[in-house]
Amino acid sequence: NTAHYKSPAFDKLIADTLKVADDTQRSELYAKAEQQLDKDSAIVPVYYYVNARLVKPWVGGYTGKDPLDNIYVKNLYIIKH
């Protein structure tokens, strides 16, 4: 949530989806949550930054899956090669 979006109505709808066992009802709640998000949106991202990384095959612990593109050096290690 890099935009720091906050909405009690949206949070309640998402929380309600966790309480519903029926797939149809859950889909309806997700649709309502999406409508709430659309209603509240002040901006529409046109693009996202992309960072290319060259990671040697002997570097372990790098997943490349952090949503904020953080690299935690404490998780990296050298694989014997």
**What is residue 37's predicted lDDT score, i.e. its pLDDT?**
92
Q: What is the pLDDT of residues 58-81, one digit of tens each?
A: 999 998 888 778 889 999 999 998
Give the pLDDT of residue 64: 86
pLDDT in tens, the chain (81 residues): 767 889 999 999 999 999 999 999 999 999 999 999 999 987 777 777 777 889 999 999 998 888 778 889 999 999 998
- In this prediction, residue 40 carries a pLDDT of 92
pLDDT score for 46: 77
Q: Is 30 helix (H, G, I), strand (E, B) or coil?
A: helix
How much is the pLDDT for 4? 82
| Closest by Cα among 74, 73, 75, 78 to 59 | 78
Residue 28: how many CA atoms within 13 Å on its side-chain side?
6
